[in-house]
Structure formats: C-alpha cells, structure tokens
Chain A
C-alpha cells in the first residue's frame, strides 16, 4: 500500500534552517509528482511546492520568497524540503502528498516549531 512518512521536523530558532524528508513506498515514485503542504491553526492549509517525477519541473509559492527548496532522490524514493531563514510564522505541520494536481495520498505530517 502507498505510504508516505515525513521526518525532520522539530524546534528551530528564527533564522535557522531545517530539511524535511518524506520517504515513500508502495508506488512508482519516479512516475509521480510530489507536493509539500503545510497547516497552521491560523492560515489553514497552504500549498508550498511541488516537483515532477524526474525533478525537472518545480513550482513553489511566491509567498516563500525563495526560502524553501523542494528536491527529490528517485533512488531513495524520497522527496525533501529545505527550509532556510525560518520565521515564527513558518510554525506548522508539514505534509508531503503524492500528486501534482490531485493529491491522493498524504503523510502523517511533521511538526516544525520556530521559536527562540
């Protein structure tokens, strides 16, 4: 069965960096777009970025102002989100999801807390 497992969240100070990982199984990873979405109590669900199966196509939300970078390793069936210059408002649960248009499978999420 399809599984997506995020990791890498935690507590980080403002201005710091984190790299989130999403390990997948149960489907042909290299054929699938992958997406990162986050959820906060205040702003709800927010789409962040997606990447094509080959990694050649990437799109990200303009609001991130280039601070976050999506990447993937098809040999490891994993997708990543490098987050730099973190702000308090980046505090959220971060989900990876399969698909670039319809997100049919979601991971359990990883909590990122940005605080001093």
Chain B
C-alpha cells in the first residue's frame, strides 16, 4: 500500500497569515492515464470530509482561491494564502493512483 505522510500534524496560524501543509507519498502517484491522483480534503469539526483540490492543483467547485495545491511525483503541498476562521479544520491528503486508496494522518489547523 502507498503510505501518505503529512507534516506537520498540527498547525497554529494567526488570522490572515499563510499556512502550508506537506504530504509525501511512498510511491509515485502518476496513474496510467498520465494524471497524478492526489487530492486534498478538508474536515471541519462535526462535518464529513469535503473535497478541496483534486489532481494536485485543481480547486473543486466553490473552494476559495486562497487554497492552492502544488507538487509532483511524491511531494505535494497545500497552501492557504490567508487563514480565515472558517479554515479551522483537519486537512487530509489522499492518493487514488493505486488500490487501496490511502490517506494521510491529517493536519489540524487552529487559530493562534
């Protein structure tokens, strides 16, 4: 199975400041169709996970543009350009290049 490793596991950020979360996979996430199946999910307290970004950098419908994704191969990053109160959540990376799909441990973002 592909192991997804996120760092840090916890992040305290002041409102309006940037935040960055790293995700590293144990194998390449490039699929046979040429796409790299790395997604980022946001889970607010008491809510189900919600898709933020798919295929490294494509923001899903309705996701604010302060969220951005980057990376390639096995190293990926989620950035929040200016953290807002509603961004308090746990963020997960997920790979869909191989079965079984696997997730990072999650990064908890809190306001400082």
Which A residues have a C-beta under 8 Å from some C-beta of B? 35, 37, 39, 44-47, 59, 61-63, 95, 100-109
B82 at interface (Cβ–Cβ under 8 A)? Answer: no
Given contacts A102-B55, A104-B54, contact A95 B49 (CB under 8 A): yes
Q: CB within 8 A of B48: which of A61, A100, A108? A: A108
Min distance, Cβ B46 to any Cβ of chain A, angstroms: 10
Q: Is the interface of A mostly helix, strand, loop or mixed?
A: mixed
**A residues less than 8 Å from B105 (CB atoms):** 44
Q: How many residues of B contact A (CB 8 A)?
A: 21
Within 8 A of A (CB), among B48-97: 48-51, 54-55, 60, 92, 94, 96
A-B contact count (CB 8 A): 50
Q: CB within 8 A of B51: which of A35, A59, A102? A: A102
Is there an interface contact between B54 and A47, defined as CB atoms closer than 8 Å? no
Min distance, Cβ B26 to any Cβ of chain A, angstroms: 16
**A residues less than 8 Å from B106 (CB atoms):** 44-45
**B residues less than 8 Å from A101 (CB atoms):** 31, 37, 96
Is there an interface contact between A45 and B94, defined as CB atoms closer than 8 Å? yes
Interface centre among A35, A59, A104 (most CB of B within 10 A): A104
Q: How far is the CA of A61 from the CA of B96 in the complex (A)?
A: 13
**B residues less than 8 Å from A46 (CB atoms):** 103
Min distance, Cβ B45 to any Cβ of chain A, angstroms: 13
B28 at interface (Cβ–Cβ under 8 A)? Answer: no
Q: Looking across the interface, which residue of chain B has its beta carbon closest to that of A106? A: B48
Q: How far is the CA of A12 from the CA of B31 in the complex (A)?
A: 39
Given contacts A45-B92, A101-B37, contact A106 B100 (CB under 8 A): no
Is there an interface contact between A102 and B103, defined as CB atoms closer than 8 Å? no
Q: How far is the CA of A36 from the CA of B107 in the complex (A)?
A: 22
